[in-house]
Amino acid sequence: MDGTLADSSDQHWRAWRDAMAAANRRLTYDQFVAAFGQRNDRFLRRWLGSDTTDAEIARFGDAKEAAYRRLIEAEGLAPLPGAATWVRRLHAAGWRQAVASSAPRANVAVMLRAVGLADAFETFVGAEDVTMGKPDPQVFLAGAAALCVPPSSCIVVEDAAVGVEAARRAGMRSIGVSRAARLDADVAVATLADLPEDAFDRLFQVAQSGV
């Protein structure tokens, strides 16, 4: 979701910064960037201390995510270049679409409403639905299962190297979207607006041919 359909990194940063400040801890932007996109339970103990209990981590993470959702609902969110066009085009063509995210399900729902694309997705998978984060393929396999389609028929759109690797491990083709670096995906572009009009159809045909 984040980095492919929309960019809410600023809202995440402010929510984490304020949550840490409320706990009398300072969070640097570099620390935030290093953890961004991971499940909260993977990095919060590093931030809060090794003696932090699972219950404390859960409460802290829940409070931050609630603050993040309030920011999104108050400020809105714009789709990234080409994202809304592609989602609508694929939906109209009969493609089944799912969001597979490391974020809590409530966050995904708020983001989809904010960008106005909730009706174009059949389902979504969030942090509560998996136990392993990327590059483990679990989140993408869960998305395929939710759509009732085989992994080999799925195309993943990702903005991070660990996500592209997770797609590969899942047996799925991938489209890498990043202005910062060229990702080792089957197709790599700076934005979805740069994607050729036949990109999804061609990747699907290649996948079905087994090449």
Residue ranges of domains in the chain: 9-75, 83-209
Neighbours of 192 (CB within 10 A): 21
Question: Residues 5, 76, 1, CA angle at the centre, nearest 5°?
Answer: 20
In the numeric block, the tokens 């740069």 are attached to 194
Rounded CA separation 124/5 (Å): 13
Q: What is the pLDDT of residue 39?
A: 78
CA distances to 30, 112, 125 from 99, in Å: 27, 9, 6
Going residue by residue through the chain, which has 211 residues, state the pLDDT in tens, using 9 for 90 and above: 999 999 999 999 999 999 999 989 999 999 999 888 777 888 999 999 999 999 999 999 999 999 999 999 999 999 999 999 999 999 999 999 999 998 899 999 999 999 999 999 999 999 899 999 889 999 999 999 999 999 999 999 999 999 999 999 999 999 999 998 899 999 999 999 999 999 999 999 998 887 6
Decide: helix, strand or coil at residue 31: helix
Question: Cis omega (within 30 of 0) on the bond before 79?
Answer: no
Rounded CA separation 208/211 (Å): 8
The answer to whether 133 and 125 have CB atoms below 8 angstroms apart is: no
**Structural fold of domain 83-209:** Rossmann fold (3.40.50)
Which class is 9-75 in CATH? Answer: mainly alpha
DSSP at 124:
E
From the number of C-beta atoms within 10 Å of its C-beta (0-12, 13-18, 19+), residue 33 rates as: exposed
155-158 sheet: strands from edge to edge: 155-158, 173-177, 187-189
